[in-house]
Structure 1
Amino acid sequence: MTLAEILDDLRRTKASGLHAETGLWVAGVLREQIAAGRLAPGTKLSEETLGDALGVSRNTLREAFSTLSAERVVTRFPNRGVFVSRPTTDDIREIYRVRRYLEPAAVTWTPATELGPVRLAPLSLAVERARAARDAGSIPGMAGANQDFHATIVALAGSERLDQLMSQVLAEMRLVFHSMAENALFHAPYVDENDRIVSLLAEGRQSDAATVLADYLVRAEAQLLAAVAARAGG
């Protein structure tokens, strides 16, 4: 997606969000753009351009930047401006530390009576989308479906606070995924593991599903750290 297309998307957002022109609302809009992979690491966020696209003041935009900076999603450089962050190895370790606490717990503690076909359907749909993207050789498609799968895992807990935390984590994760942008072998194996998690949940085996999830989060972290190290060494 080009910058012009992103700005057009933001202008459409403005039309439906006039009732909520606050720094938190703007932060949410930008976070969604980053989580969707539309704003890549290193992208400069122009106050003038974004303010015009969203129809908000610079003060409101700066409030949003402060929120996103605290979340490590953007970085402010003196005399240069605000840029979409490039996650470091320490950031990756922290992201996965949060995910290992958050996601297996959501799977484990959601009452089994709430894990019927209706609640599990969005997870199955995310797996189907990921499988179709894998068959088509679409790395962005696999990454996007994977993001949706993990957001839905946390949503099983039924907590707005946890959903908000996960949205922040996934925005950072999208930036991390740029490290694996040309490596289909990173995303592909997890499609089948996600399918296995859904099957285990459908069978009422929440503990086993949590174990599978926790194990592959450990492996994914190790792969990403290795990729970042290789890129730095190369």
Structure 2
Amino acid sequence: MVARVTVLSVVDAIADDLRNEILRGELVPGDPLTEAEVSERYDVARATAKAAIERLVAESVLERRTHKTARVVKLGPDEVRDIYRARAYLEAEVLRQLAAARTVPDDAVAANAEFERLGDVSSFEIIGPDMHFHTALVDALGNTRTSRMYRTLVSEVTLCLAQVHGRQLVKPTLLHAEHAEILTRLRAGDADGATLLLAEHLGRARERLAEALGGQAGPEATTPSSLGLAD
């Protein structure tokens, strides 16, 4: 069997490293990131540093106004709600289609197993499998444009997940159980049950994060788990 090797460009590698620092909270919202700083730090040309910064600006991980220094994006309650609701619209329809076909994606099962394994290890480490679980569901639909649309949200969703997990707003054990139950309902062809649980799953995190960022939490923040689990 031939091993798959992924080759990253210098721009990709720098962007990945900076993105991970932002997700870990080493670069915090509002922190500036200049081309000169990135160029010196990674010993690369200014053009390469600029390309890495622009990559993160395009992903909405950094923001830059005209002729201004790029800064780590600062999400507020309204932005968080907008991001979560946009993903909910897409994911709910995906679940309906998967339930109709009783499709349980192997990649989603594997991602949730990895999530469970890392749940007690590191809040940063579980961001990846959490995001992978949801992207695996979308990709299982087999619609290239739907997957492409969802990926325009991934960087902003990941920023939200970093805050949810970093602030320990929802117990990983509950998230894992909800992931598993969503898959069970897909297997049973229960589209309504799967989408209702998704709404609960996303709504709880959305409203708790909105409150943590200075907003007023909606009722979803304190709604008891329909699975009867403590949170």
- TM-score normalized with structure 2 length: 0.70
2: distance between equivalents of 1:202 and 1:85? 39
- State the 4+ residue runs in structure 1 displaced beyond 6 angstroms: 54-57
SS in 2 for 1:72: coil
RMSD of the alignment, in Å? 3.6
**Does the 8 A contact of 2:15 with 2:53 survive in 1?**
no
2: distance between equivalents of 1:147 and 1:29? 21
**Does the 8 A contact of 1:41 with 1:175 survive in 2?**
no
Alignment of 1:166-185 (within 5 A): 166-180=150-164, 181-183=166-168, 185=170
2:117 alignment partner, one of 132, 149, 159: 132
**Does the 8 A contact of 1:51 with 1:57 survive in 2?**
yes
SS in 2 for 1:151: helix
1: distance between equivalents of 2:59 and 2:196? 28
Q: What is the Cα deviation at residue 192 of structure 1? A: 0.5
Q: What is the Cα deviation at residue 106 of structure 1? A: 0.8
Go from structure 1 to structure 2 and tell me whether the alpha carbon gap of 1:64 and 1:160 turns closer, same or farther (over 3 Å shift).
farther
Go from structure 1 to structure 2 and tell me whether the alpha carbon gap of 1:57 and 1:220 turns closer, same or farther (over 3 Å shift).
same
1: distance between equivalents of 2:82 and 2:117? 31
2:89 alignment partner, one of 101, 111, 126: 101
SS in 2 for 1:197: helix
The amino acid across from 1:130 in the alignment is F
What's the counterpart of residue 207 of structure 1?
A: 192
**Does the 8 A contact of 1:72 with 1:172 survive in 2?**
yes
Q: State the aligned residue count.
A: 206
Q: What is the Cα deviation at residue 148 of structure 1? A: 0.9
What's the counterpart of residue 222 of structure 2?
A: none
**Does the 8 A contact of 1:127 with 1:145 survive in 2?**
yes
Q: What is the Cα deviation at residue 146 of structure 1? A: 0.9
Q: What is the Cα deviation at residue 151 of structure 1? A: 1.1
Go from structure 1 to structure 2 and tell me whether the alpha carbon gap of 1:111 and 1:225 turns closer, same or farther (over 3 Å shift).
closer
Q: Deviations over 1:149-201 (max 9, x none)?
A: 11112112223333233233221122223433141644442111001011111
Q: Deviations over 1:72-101 (max 9, x none)?
A: 331115665212312122210110120110
What's the counterpart of residue 201 of structure 2?
A: 216
Q: Does 143-152 or 42-51 show the bigger shift?
A: 42-51
- TM-score normalized with structure 1 length: 0.69
Is there any run of 5+ residues in structure 1 with no aligned partner, and where? 1-11
The amino acid across from 1:149 in the alignment is F
Structure 1 vs Structure 2: percent identity of aligned residues? 22
SS in 2 for 1:218: helix
Q: Does 175-184 or 201-210 show the bigger shift?
A: 175-184
**Does the 8 A contact of 1:27 with 1:65 survive in 2?**
no
Q: What is the Cα deviation at residue 66 of structure 1? A: 5.5
1:191 alignment partner, one of 176, 189, 198: 176
1: distance between equivalents of 2:102 and 2:36? 47
2: distance between equivalents of 1:61 and 1:162? 32
Go from structure 1 to structure 2 and tell me whether the alpha carbon gap of 1:85 and 1:211 turns closer, same or farther (over 3 Å shift).
same
The amino acid across from 1:142 in the alignment is I
Alignment of 1:1-234 (within 5 A): 16=7, 30=15, 34=19, 37=23, 40-42=27-29, 44-48=32-36, 58=47, 68-69=56-57, 71-77=59-65, 81-110=69-98, 112-113=100-101, 115=103, 120-134=105-119, 136-180=120-164, 181-183=166-168, 185-229=170-214
The amino acid across from 1:192 in the alignment is A
Q: What is the Cα deviation at residue 141 of structure 1? A: 2.6
